[in-house]
Amino acid sequence: MSVTRRGFLQSSVSLVGGIGLASVVTKEASAKIAPNLVGYQTTSKDGHDCKGCKLFEPPNACKSVDGVIDPSGWCKLWVKA
């Protein structure tokens, strides 16, 4: 089987594009939102707090919000656990 220049270039472009896409998807999946963009506060609101949220990761993290999260805090992304 002989390799043509056109075939080689098409394969190369596909490979590079695939690698680039994979790195973008991976980076977006791990990105978290800044606390100030979701109205994060260190106190509860209307009886809702981070420790009762589906996104909370004990002891002090969140699946969606960046930084150290107070279990007694609250933000606009709150979802009942």
pLDDT of residue 7: 72
Identity of residue 46: D
- Tokens standing for 1? 């089987």
Which is nearest to 41 in space by CA: 72, 1, 81? 72
Tens digit of pLDDT at every position of the chain (81 positions): 677 887 766 766 665 555 655 555 555 566 999 999 999 999 999 999 999 999 999 999 999 999 999 999 999 999 999
Structural contact between residues 38 and 65, judged by C-beta atoms closer than 8 angstroms = yes
pLDDT of residue 53: 97
- Tokens standing for 9? 């270039």
Structural contact between residues 72 and 50, judged by C-beta atoms closer than 8 angstroms = yes
pLDDT of residue 3: 76
**Cα 44 to the chain's mean position, in Å?**
24
